Amino acid sequence: MAIDRDAFTAWIDGYERSWRSEGTEHLRTLFTEDAGYRHSPYEETITGLPAIARDWEDGREGHDEVFTMSAEIIAIDGNTGVARVAVIYGEPMTQDYLDLWIVHFGPDGRATLFEEWPFWPDQPWRAKEH
pLDDT-above-90 percentage for the chain:
65
Question: What pLDDT digit, counting tens, does each position of 92-103 carry?
Answer: 877 888 999 999
The number of domains in the chain is 1
pTM for this prediction? 0.90
Tell me what the mean pLDDT of segment 60-67 comes to.
Answer: 78
Residue 125: inside a domain: no
Residue 126: inside a domain: no
Quote the domain boundaries for residue 77.
5-119
Q: Can you give the CATH number for the domain in which 25 is found?
A: 3.10.450.50
* Statement: residue 53 has pLDDT above 80: yes
Residue 42: inside a domain: yes
Residue 95: inside a domain: yes
- The CA distance from 52 to 57, in Å, is 9
Mean pLDDT of the chain: 90
Residue 130: inside a domain: no
